[in-house]
């Protein structure tokens, strides 16, 4: 195994360990407690505020991070200017969000959103301090350090959110918890990096990075609008309670995306950048990453589809039952998104960020039309509209990848065959178990046995159909265990350090 492969494998191991840990902590512990302390409308209000604050957050970095990672060498003077440029952007975005908070509240017809936005805006300044240190840790491929920092920040978030919610702060508990998480993460990133910027801010030094990043930022802005257009439509036209149910379903579906697909995309980007002029190796690496992501995310989403009623009622409570049909539809959406997330890396590696931008513009316009048609049928109509666009979107974006690195649709979908067939087997076998005479009457036993049956069937199928992937999965599991115990996992391969 080459040094680059070891570094990438180590990064995936650490990132998966951390993100799975954060996902369990956030979705199965923190969110489960908050779901009993807060009402669906409280989550809906925070969802409304997050739409606005998340949009503003896109402008914090202006694509500087990926540009720093892509460039082989960056001087200390350039890094210092970029650091203080990020801080300046954080202050400006904080002030702008506070000034526009009342406008955001009027858009959603919810006065509480204004106060939430003023609280969350403080997180922009906190986040700006850690933006470049996080990028430098990524460039050095110090994934273990990043994982530990993110886990610590998530623990602070959970403690703050639960404590404030218990004290009766309502939706503000979620807003202040976000600020606490941002500040914790930034402070720890600065401390562990050990790098101190020079006191300088010269825009001419930042300009080359911004010229690369502007296309990326434009694509991210348009992509954010398309990703949050459903929140805007549901919140504005159906109300905060409907948005609360919708938010829970979306967050559960996004767990495999955030904890697997996006982690892999983030970790593999620096490694793929080294292959930008080697199409054959890049093509093999891309297809391998897609296959392994699908082998993990497809069964997760299929299992969630099957056990959704029991899972939601047991973990979050009976009052969240309206989220179940939405979650099942979202599981179908998530399968396509989990592999579609990876195409953006190819655009960036090949120096074509504008391709992602123009595709996102076309997709967003189409999505808005579909959402406005679907919202007439309630939240289910909204999710159905998203589902109807998901597969065509995957086909178009993969077509663009085919043009860049010479892949074909036959290669791509053949690459996914075992993930698709194995997931179908889960659906059939667990579905028959739940409908058959052996299904237990208790919710806990039904959930546990269904999950075990699905896992066993899928593992057996992968062992037969993807023997090599199965063996690598066992190896990775052992490496993760070694990393948790503190034993050396693999070479860190710190490349491109500033």
- How confident is the model at residue 213, as a pLDDT? 64
Task: Report the C-alpha gap between 61 and 44 in whole angstroms.
Answer: 27
Q: How confident is the model at residue 478 (pLDDT cuts 50, 70, 90)?
A: low
Evaluate the CA torsion angle 270, 275, 277, 280 in order and state its sign: negative
Mean pLDDT of the chain: 79
How wide is the angle at C-alpha 16 spanned by C-alphas 469 and 452, nearest 5°?
Answer: 65
- How confident is the model at residue 381, as a pLDDT? 92
253 and 191 in one domain? no
- How confident is the model at residue 380, as a pLDDT? 92
- How confident is the model at residue 493, as a pLDDT? 28
Residue 111 has which token pair? 């006065």
pLDDT digits 0-9 by tens, 330-388: 999 988 888 887 887 788 778 777 787 788 788 888 988 999 999 999 889 999 999 99
285 and 150 in one domain? no
pLDDT digits 0-9 by tens, 160-175: 999 999 999 988 999 9
Q: Are 80 and 203 spatial neighbours (Cβ–Cβ below 8 Å)?
A: no
Q: How confident is the model at residue 215 (pLDDT cuts 50, 70, 90)?
A: low
Taking the mean position of all CA atoms in its chain, how far away is CA 426? Answer: 25
176 and 38 in one domain? yes
Among 51-65, 319-333, 453-467, top mean pLDDT goes to 319-333
429 and 280 in one domain? yes
Q: How confident is the model at residue 470 (pLDDT cuts 50, 70, 90)?
A: low
374 and 257 in one domain? yes
Q: How many domains does the chain contain in total?
A: 2
Task: Report the C-alpha gap between 302 and 310 in whole angstroms.
Answer: 14
Q: Are 470 and 462 spatial neighbours (Cβ–Cβ below 8 Å)?
A: yes
Domain with 68, as residue range(s), is 1-201
**CA contacts within 13 A on the Cβ side of 338:** 31
313 and 189 in one domain? no
Q: Are 171 and 240 spatial neighbours (Cβ–Cβ below 8 Å)?
A: no
The reply to whether 495 falls in a domain is no
- How confident is the model at residue 181, as a pLDDT? 92
Over residues 202-218, the mean pLDDT reads: 71
Among 133-147, 247-261, 335-349, 399-413, top mean pLDDT goes to 399-413
Task: Report the C-alpha gap between 99 and 114 in whole angstroms.
Answer: 10
């Amino acid at each position: 195994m080459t040094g680059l492969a070891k570094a990438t494998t180590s990064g995936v191991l650490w990132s998966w360990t951390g993100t799975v840990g954060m996902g369990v902590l956030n979705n199965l512990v923190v969110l489960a407690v908050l779901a009993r302390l807060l009402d669906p409308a409280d989550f809906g209000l925070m969802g409304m505020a997050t739409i606005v604050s998340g949009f503003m957050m896109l402008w914090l970095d202006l694509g500087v991070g990926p540009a720093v990672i892509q460039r082989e060498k960056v001087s200390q003077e350039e890094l210092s200017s970029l650091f203080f440029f990020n801080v300046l952007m954080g202050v400006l975005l904080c002030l702008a969000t506070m000034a526009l908070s009342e406008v955001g509240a009027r858009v959603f017809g919810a006065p509480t959103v204004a106060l939430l936005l003023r609280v969350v805006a403080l997180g922009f300044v906190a986040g700006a301090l850690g933006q470049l240190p996080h990028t430098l840790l990524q460039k050095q491929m110090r994934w273990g350090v990043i994982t530990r920092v993110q886990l610590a920040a998530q623990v602070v978030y959970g403690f703050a959110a639960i404590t404030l919610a218990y004290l009766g702060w309502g939706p503000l508990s979620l807003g202040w918890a976000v600020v606490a998480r941002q500040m914790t993460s930034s402070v720890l990133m600065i401390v562990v990096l050990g790098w101190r910027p020079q006191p300088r801010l010269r825009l001419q030094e930042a300009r080359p990075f911004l010229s690369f990043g502007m296309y990326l930022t434009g694509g991210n802005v348009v992509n954010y609008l398309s990703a949050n257009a459903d929140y805007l439509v549901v919140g504005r036209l159906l109300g905060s309670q409907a948005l609360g149910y919708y938010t829970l379903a979306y967050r559960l579906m996004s767990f495999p995306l955030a904890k697997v697909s996006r982690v892999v995309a983030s970790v593999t980007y620096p490694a793929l950048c080294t292959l930008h002029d080697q199409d054959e190796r890049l093509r093999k690496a891309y297809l391998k990453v897609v296959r392994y992501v699908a082998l993990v995310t497809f069964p997760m989403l299929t299992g969630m589809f099957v056990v959704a009623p029991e899972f939601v009622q047991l973990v979050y409570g009976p009052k969240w039952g309206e989220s179940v049909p939405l979650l099942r539809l979202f599981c179908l959406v998530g399968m396509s998104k989990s592999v579609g997330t990876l195409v953006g890396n190819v655009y960036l590696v090949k120096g074509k960020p504008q391709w992602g931008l123009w595709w996102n513009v076309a997709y967003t316009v189409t999505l808005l039309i579909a959402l406005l048609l679907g919202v007439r049928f309630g939240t289910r109509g909204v999710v159905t509209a998203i589902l109807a666009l998901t597969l065509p979107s995957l086909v178009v974006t993969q077509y663009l990848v085919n043009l860049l690195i010479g892949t074909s649709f036959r290669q791509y979908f053949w690459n996914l065959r075992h993930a698709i067939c194995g997931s179908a087997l889960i659906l059939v076998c667990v579905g028959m178990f739940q409908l058959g005479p052996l299904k237990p009457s208790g919710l806990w036993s039904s959930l546990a046995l269904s999950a075990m049956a699905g896992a066993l069937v899928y593992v057996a199928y992968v062992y037969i159909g993807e023997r090599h992937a199965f063996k690598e999965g066992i190896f990775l599991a052992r490496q993760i265990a070694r990393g948790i115990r503190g034993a050396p996992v693999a070479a860190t391969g710190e490349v491109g350090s500033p």
